[in-house]
Amino acid sequence: QKEVEQDPGPLSVPEGAIVSLNCTYSNSAFQYFMWYRQYSRKGPELLMYTYSSGNKEDGRFTAQVDKSSKYISLFIRDSQPSDSATYLCAMSPRGSSNTGKLIFGQGTTLQVKP
């Protein structure tokens, strides 16, 4: 079993829809959680990052962490065609086991249709 599981999709939604992207993980030591957006043939760019549990909002994007369920989510409100990309979750553990290495999910490909 992979440490981080992410449904690869593809996920297709109409413009203006609310999108929910999710990752589950198995390592309870994970403490730092990130979402990256990757446009086709480009490098990933950091979208959101959170520490421990809770929610974080940035414009149309909300990142949510539920450590009790080992589940993280990224919500996109009022989705736009420009949001069409692959979204990668990434995480790393706390404390002495933290070497700076990130564990990535497989990535979910999102298409927002006009």
Residue (43 or 114) nearer to other proteins, CB: 43
φ/ψ bin of 10: left (φ > 0), alpha (ψ from -120 to 50), beta (otherwise): beta
Q: Does 42 bind other proteins (CB under 8 A)?
A: yes
Q: Does 106 bind other proteins (CB under 8 A)?
A: yes
Site string for other proteins, 76-95 (x = CB under 8 A): ------------x-x-x-xx
Q: Does 32 bind other proteins (CB under 8 A)?
A: yes
Residue 103: HSE in the Cβ half-sphere, 13 Å Cα cutoff: 21
Closest CA to 37 of 4, 74, 77: 74
Residue (36 or 72) nearer to other proteins, CB: 36
Distances (CA, A) of 98 to 27, 30, 82, 103: 13, 9, 34, 11
User: Least distance from C-beta 77 to other proteins, angstroms?
Assistant: 24
